[in-house]
Amino acid sequence: MKYAKIVKRSMLVILGIVLTLYLSNASFLAPPIGSQPVLVAHRGLAQDFDPTGLTNETCTAARMLPTSHDYLENTIASMQAAFAYGADFVEFDVHPTTDGHFAVFHDWTVDCRTNGTGVTREQTLASLQSLDIGYGYTADGGKTYPFRGKGVGLMPSLDEVLTMFPTRNLIINIKSNDPQEGELLAERLALLSPEHQKKIMVYGGEHPVSVIRERLPLIQTLWIRRLKQCFVRYAAFGWLGYVPATCKQSMLMIPSNYTSWLWGWPNRFLQRMATVDTNVFLLANYQGEGFSQGLDDLKRIRDLPEDYSGGIWTDRIDLVGPAVKGSKIE
């Protein structure tokens, strides 16, 4: 009889612990951190392309899908259009130039998209800005090139972007793992006011981005190893309400098929990240190669919890913006 009471008491204690842990991680008991999702326009408003079998060597301009607009990625006009469609952040890519500037362009070389050749970072800003960045786009296997002659002079510098959008949220992608690039970028961003720095995030190679993190603590940063450490440690200990140091003052890019590992997803998790000054952006499913693509499927976005107010990273802000926020370009 005494043994049965001990067992019963132990079961009640265990049940109480389980219930406490469940309630402390229950998303429905945590208020949303905002009134609607936060949208990130990847490379601004870009031309869509066939992602089948995509690798780091794929020339995406050569597999462009039939176009519905005339904007080219990573240009001032495409960024303006993205904000008009409802983007809260615009992401863009940078490369250092041989004359001490930064060019805003995605590819490691200019061969795919432009009428030039060579490694992007091995050229001057003036030579890069003289290129036709619409030269290589084709949707019919090279029969026609609808943007040839229309992209001359459209490659902006980082300075031009920062000047054009002083009050907007921007995400800078460093394409290399060169610490010197981090030094150069840190020097440039240090010239901005603290209020401006708070509107900027930087991600990419660990060596350059860690320089930004060390020198400019107001800027949220991310590199892939830090993301993995944050994810694994939170999955292991987040049930206790513990937020690992590698999750703090950061930007997290989370594939949709990994959210089940995040204790308290979405509201409780987002709330915990917000308390450590971290933004969370949801991507499409990770399929085991490269990194996840933007979340562009409207059905999957509508299937998110009704009060979801975290980030959505998209390659199709022209579709997602109007669907989520009802915004459109007049």
Beta-carbon contacts of 40 under 8 Å, excluding residues fewer than 6 positions away, are 87, 88, 89, 90, 91, 171, 281, 311, 312, 313, 314
Structure token digits, residue 115 = 């009428």
Beta-carbon contacts of 13 under 8 Å, excluding residues fewer than 6 positions away, are none
Q: State how beta strands 102-104 and 89-96 pair.
A: antiparallel
CB 82 within 8 A of CB 90: yes
* Residue 239 covered by a domain: yes
* Residue 115 covered by a domain: no
What pLDDT digit, counting tens, does each position of 173-216 carry?
A: 999 999 999 999 999 999 999 999 999 999 999 999 999 999 99
How many domains is the chain built from?
A: 1
> Worst-scoring range by mean pLDDT, 18-32, 154-168, 207-221, 238-252?
18-32
For the segment 103-126, the average pLDDT, to the nearest whole number, is: 98
pLDDT of residue 141: 93
* Residue 15 covered by a domain: no
* Residue 126 covered by a domain: no
Q: What CATH number has the domain bearing residue 287?
A: 3.20.20.190
Amino acid occupying residue 108: W
- Indicate if the pLDDT at residue 11 is higher than 90: no
Angle at alpha carbon of residue 170, lines to 266 and 166, rounded to 5°: 135
For the segment 68-89, the average pLDDT, to the nearest whole number, is: 97
* Residue 150 covered by a domain: no
* Residue 177 covered by a domain: yes
pLDDT of residue 330: 52
Buried b (16+ CB within 10 A) or exposed e, 57-93: ebbbbbbbeeeeeebbbbbbebbbbbbbbbbbbbbbb
> What is the rounded CA–CA span in Å between residue 222 and residue 216?
13
What pLDDT digit, counting tens, does each position of 115-173 carry?
A: 999 999 999 999 999 999 999 999 999 999 999 999 999 999 999 999 999 999 999 99
pLDDT band at 249 (very low <50, low <70, confident <90, very high): very high
Query: What pTM was computed for the model?
Result: 0.93
> What is the rounded CA–CA span in Å between residue 169 and residue 160?
15
Could you list the residue range(s) of the whole structural domain that residue 225 is in? Answer: 31-56+67-107+156-325
For the segment 66-74, the average pLDDT, to the nearest whole number, is: 93
* Residue 93 covered by a domain: yes
Percentage of residues of the chain with pLDDT beyond 70: 93
* Residue 135 covered by a domain: no
